Amino acid sequence: MRLLVTNIAAIAGIDRERRERVEGAAMKRFDTLSDAWLLAEDGRIAAFGPMSEIGELRADRTVDAGGGLLLPSFCDSHTHLVYAGSREQEFIDKINGLSYEEIARRGGGILNSADRLHAASEDELFAQASERIREIIRMGTGCVEIKSGYGLSTGDELKMLRVIRRIRDSFPIEVRSTFLGAHAVARDYIGRQTEYVDLVCREMIPAVAAEGLADFIDVFCDKGFFTVEETARMLEAGAKYGLRPKIHANELDVSGGVQVGVRHGALSVDHLERMGAEEIETLRGSSTMPTMLPGAAFFLGMPFPPAREMIDAGLGVALASDYNPGSSPSGNMKFVVSLACIRMKMTPAEALNAATLNGACAMGTSRDFGSISEGKVADFYITRPVPSVDFLPYAYTTPLVDRVFLRGEEYCG
Ligand code: NIG
Ligand code: FE
């Protein structure tokens, strides 16, 4: 199957070197080619070039981009989009003055979602998550990581992970799966946190590994959740089964999460609202991708992560949506890019690199996803006609993603 796209005002996010990540000053480049065509063959990008040199190209299907831009699909490396119901009551509680931590201490928050998930069948969960998947595909996401973590018992964690597997098998979006049994201490274990950590290490991790349900392991290493020592124990237990860490760190406090993540070879450390100079120094020279979730800082009214300091220190950074019912009920990556520009002073080019190639890197998929490069999977979207690439984050609520192509085929779901 050969798909030819013509009449593209500009292809953006081109990477002829096919790098696996971009760092520091290199993040400022998001290369473009004006007045272009692109050819995909058998689901991969075969070639692209200027319209003036299109010559005689044979294709099974030709699509006229109508003068829109063509960009690589977003790679959203941190979501919790399998969940039951919603939590707008807590949204009201927050408006009335309660903090995220206070709501959690009262037994709301993650435990609220765990109760709802327990009551939902696998089919119901799949139906609800499928709606969210269709929504994010239509908004331009082509590659997504999804976490468990609303199960908090072996049976319910497996239920969530099976739903993630079903999503992976049912949609053309690329999915990576993360086991997050240590998202919170389950209700039955409150006051017995060490026993809950034992359960994660001795029962949950072996059961998840036995069914091959997870690519990665995550721990919420933060004030009021899991300590650095507990995190280290669980990451070591996961490592025995080949589960590489991607962890929640430094959202509520300077928690030591960055250091424990880097020490255990984490693929990414995520959130990073509370960072010091030491944390940035720890990340320099490591292969761990610092990942920021500005939707959560926006929704919870937290400080935004120090993106400028990190990039200016030479780090590569990724952006993800954190799509979840408590701290970021949105998977809109275009809005995440806008927030990064508006609130974290990232340039549009830096933010788009962070939401595509570096996002893919943060879930181990950047060899095949995250940029317009010959040989990579043909995942891209075409925008409505716009004046420039910078217009995308500038017009921060306008839905500009017009047509979506995954694995070389148009998504019409
Ligand atoms: O990334 N911080 C921990 N976990 C999620 C929130 C989960 C929830 O509140 O349901 C997050 O923000
Ligand atoms: Fe999260």
Domains of the chain (ranges; CATH) run: 2-72+371-410 (2.30.40.10), 75-361 (3.20.20.140)
Distance in Å, CA 205 to ligand 2 centroid: 19
Query: What pTM, to 2 d.p., does this model score?
Result: 0.98
pLDDT the model gives residue 104: 87
Give the distance from CA 188 to its chain's centroid: 30
* Cβ of 184 less than 6 Å from ligand 1: no
Distance in Å, CA 206 to ligand 2 centroid: 23
E strand intervals along 55-163: 61-64, 69-72, 74-76, 141-147
* Antiparallel, parallel or unpaired: β 380-383 and 61-64: unpaired
Distance in Å, CA 342 to ligand 1 centroid: 23
Cα 347 to Cα 186, 387, 392: the distances in Å are 41, 17, 12
* Cβ of 326 less than 6 Å from ligand 1: yes
Residues 6+ apart with CB under 8 A from 210: none
* Cβ of 248 less than 6 Å from ligand 1: yes
Give the distance from CA 346 to its chain's centroid: 18
* Cβ of 48 less than 6 Å from ligand 1: no
* Cβ of 296 less than 6 Å from ligand 1: yes
Closest ligand 1 atom, CA of 252? 2
* Cβ of 113 less than 6 Å from ligand 1: yes
Q: Give burial (CB, 10 Å; 0-12/13-18/19+) of 314.
A: middle
Distance in Å, CA 5 to ligand 2 centroid: 36
R_g over Cα of the chain: 21
Distance in Å, CA 106 to ligand 2 centroid: 20
* Cβ of 324 less than 6 Å from ligand 1: yes
* Ligand 1 probe mutation, 94, 112, 248, most atoms within 8 A of CB: 248
* Ligand 1 probe mutation, 300, 327, 330, most atoms within 8 A of CB: 327
Closest ligand 1 atom, CA of 150? 10
One digit per residue, pLDDT tens: the chain, 413 residues?
Answer: 999 999 999 999 999 999 999 999 999 999 999 999 999 999 999 999 999 999 988 999 999 999 999 999 999 999 999 999 999 999 999 999 999 889 988 888 999 999 999 999 999 999 999 999 999 999 999 999 999 999 999 999 999 999 999 999 999 999 999 999 999 999 999 999 999 999 999 999 999 999 999 999 999 999 999 999 999 999 999 999 999 999 999 999 998 999 999 999 999 999 999 999 999 999 998 999 999 999 999 999 999 999 999 999 999 999 999 999 999 999 999 999 999 999 999 999 999 999 999 999 999 999 999 999 999 999 999 999 999 999 999 999 999 999 999 999 999 98
Answer yes or no: are the C-beta atoms of 177 and 214 closer than 8 Å.
yes
Distance in Å, CA 79 to ligand 2 centroid: 6
Structure tokens given for 410 = 């148009």
Nearest CA, atom 11, ligand 1 = 327
Closest ligand 1 atom, CA of 87? 10
Distance in Å, CA 78 to ligand 2 centroid: 6
* 122 C-beta neighbours (distance < 10 Å), count: 13
* Cβ of 329 less than 6 Å from ligand 1: no
| Cα separation, 375 vs 377, whole angstroms | 7
| Cα separation, 159 vs 138, whole angstroms | 26
Closest ligand 1 atom, CA of 328? 12
Distance in Å, CA 324 to ligand 1 centroid: 7
Nearest CA, atom 5, ligand 1 = 327
HSE (CB half, 13 Å, CA atoms) of 369?
29
Nearest CA, atom 7, ligand 1 = 326
| Cα separation, 368 vs 174, whole angstroms | 10
Closest ligand 1 atom, CA of 83? 10
pLDDT the model gives residue 106: 85
